[in-house]
């Protein structure tokens, strides 16, 4: 296994643009996002998400840009119940275009190097122990299984 912070900007982008990195909950097999993530990634390559914002003219004639924050339901909200009783929890699935845009932005070479450097600085403080940094599996286990196993070993067993 390899920490995501050990990956290059290109490897990190590839890791984060996998369907398994986009969401970490179980869905029926017929829900697939990989093709959508790939197409959005191709479309926004070397562009900003703002290049795709729509503009409209309001009643007073001025041109107004529509931002994702202008819309309340841009992400998909769903309820999950782990025990079949009364503990329903709302979760949100981030809009794929917002997710892919964020991945592209943080994995730009300068940004990725900055993030890695900051985490390196944090790790020098003995009071900071970040056990939730995503791990990339390098064997037959899925990334999710690798991360769960690491969490179990580094947190629950301590």
Nearest to 91 by CA among 101, 102, 80, 83: 80
Q: 155: which DSSP letter? A: I
pLDDT at 157: 67
144, two tokens: 């999710």
State pTM to two decimals: 0.82
pLDDT at 55: 82
**What φ, ψ does residue 108 adopt, rounded to 5°?**
-65, 140
pLDDT tens-place string over residues 63-104:
888 888 777 788 888 888 877 788 888 888 999 999 999 999
pLDDT tens per residue across all 158 residues of the chain: 888 999 999 999 999 999 999 987 777 888 899 999 999 999 999 988 888 888 888 888 888 888 887 777 888 888 888 777 888 888 889 999 999 999 999 999 999 999 999 999 998 998 888 877 888 888 888 888 887 787 777 776 66
Question: CB pairs under 8 A, 24+ apart, for 90-96?
Answer: 91/25, 93/23, 95/68, 96/22, 96/33, 96/36, 96/37, 96/40
């Amino acid at each position: 296994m390899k920490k995501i912070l050990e990956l290059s900007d290109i490897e990190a982008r590839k890791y984060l643009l996998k369907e398994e990195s986009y969401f970490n909950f179980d869905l029926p097999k017929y829900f697939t996002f990989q093709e959508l993530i790939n197409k959005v990634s191709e479309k926004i390559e070397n562009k900003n998400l703002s290049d795709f914002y729509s503009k409209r003219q309001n009643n007073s004639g001025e041109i107004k840009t529509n931002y994702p924050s202008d819309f309340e339901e841009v992400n998909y909200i769903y309820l999950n119940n782990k025990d079949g009783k009364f503990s329903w929890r709302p979760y949100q699935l981030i809009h794929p275009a917002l997710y892919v845009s964020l991945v592209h932005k943080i994995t730009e070479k300068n940004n990725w190097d900055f993030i890695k450097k900051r985490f390196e600085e944090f790790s020098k403080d003995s009071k900071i122990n970040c056990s939730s940094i995503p791990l990339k599996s390098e064997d037959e286990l899925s990334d999710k299984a690798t991360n769960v196993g690491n969490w179990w070993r580094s947190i629950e067993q301590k």
